[in-house]
Structure 1
């Protein structure tokens, strides 16, 4: 069913109406694999169909959606909530007052101190919102209003010159880190086995921390002298990675002997619930610092960059890097070509 762009002679009510419908659309399309309360989520979806009386009540509900397990909804909701207040202060009386120029002003004023990644998320949210309205609005006479928002000329991003190369461990540092994993004094044997297992899994396969903490026991499949691990990446996209059995055999055996995780998860805390990404990152940082390894970013995601960098240096196969990391665009994988010393050394022979 389609609706008029403006109604009730109230910009605030109209914007809130479209925002409710848009976030409902995103919730139903985002991955629900980690949802902890499906009944409540279904109820919220129906509440969004009915609509909310205020942006404050919608904000509370969006926080609840995140807590239930749709974590990425804030990427779409937060920029649009800020746009609501921006247009309210602007004194808007109609949705038709929003155009490309106003959105560029909004981005310039609201994202000046934010990272390029967050700025891109704001742009994605705006494009998604107004693209949704373009498809869903229709007047009684059958005509529809088209925003056609593109934001191609918005200059808020630093561009490639403003991006940083990711931190990673070189070959000698990796060897030092692997030894540190084995020697680190964990609280007890069980915690040690679990922590060594998850850190090695991330380091030797390059999977994301978020992917590692949601692995199920059935996703670890023995195949000869290796384990095939089924993971779900961004957008709930499936892929498989491999790790040699000898690397994790002892830790895996020790952990499985006492593992009692909810929902058949492979990794969990002492209460049986899912580990957090922040816990794994703090753990990796503690181990790195214990042997004097300091990087600009010492968190667990740095292990993924390390895997990808060494994989490209040893294979010179960008497609392999792309498939191993689960990148949808090969250009995302090209960052790791910057660390290829064998190629860079050729430049020293030019003169």
Structure 2
């Protein structure tokens, strides 16, 4: 104390300043405060990157139309500006579509939807639109059936040919559509990347179409018909959900045809809800004739489902001469019963052989008809 009192005034002042500075350092740790501020700034920046979806990272941006096609596509503009409660309808331009050549359902100008179905005959589901009976009572089977000249064919044996397995191979399917006459019915598998456009090409060329549905065979799963196969023992609701998914793959078909399914079509408890649904939706059912245990005829009759059973597989041996022999057997069946149904696969040799055979059919006294003509 004596030293402090005896110290010069400037010295005492410096001591007081040092004391104050040391006290401030003790109360406010400056380095820690700065570190905390830096942590907050970095944390805020990271949080913005995580929580804010901004691919430009906050950089200013502007949209510039480069080679804009606005108003250049009349069809797109029509679809974009049409009322939401009306179906999209596109009318063919005679200058763009050669006169006399078939057009797809989308270009007929009669109100078909993008799936090839009529709006009044479509029901929206989670999987897409599926067929239904219209409010006026019109059934898809009648609406999509390809008409034929019944008067001209009176008294003549009628033959229906169904090509199965189309839609998976686009080039093969389009080749079959081009080679075969319109009265040949085409059955499409519910798969394929370009399924809708291929089906539209078939319907536009005048072909009647069927949807193939995969059903459980006896040796399932060693022999697997494909995704969404309807299975015995599954709850009816589960199989119906699969059926709706399958039915939504495309539109404009008169009915369905089984793909495999010897076990499923023999089970009344499993098959009955499916046939009941087909009847409620106004669709037909064509049995490929591969299983003698199928109870499809009885179930179809009980549910008022238009039904037919194929008589003969034409290309079990996929070569020209065996297929020609099978076609002669089909002619004999038609002569005996007045009608017959044959099924071929979409193999090139099968399609080509049937196309050649069909050109001489009328001269033989037979009439080629769509499958719906023989479905009672």
Which bracket does the TM-score occupy, shorter chain normalised?
Answer: under 0.3
Higher relative contact order (CA 8 A, sep 6+): 2
TM-score, scaled to structure 2:
0.20
TM-score, scaled to structure 1:
0.21
> Which structure features the higher share of strand residues?
2
> Which structure features the higher share of helix residues?
1
- Rg (Cα) greater in structure: 2
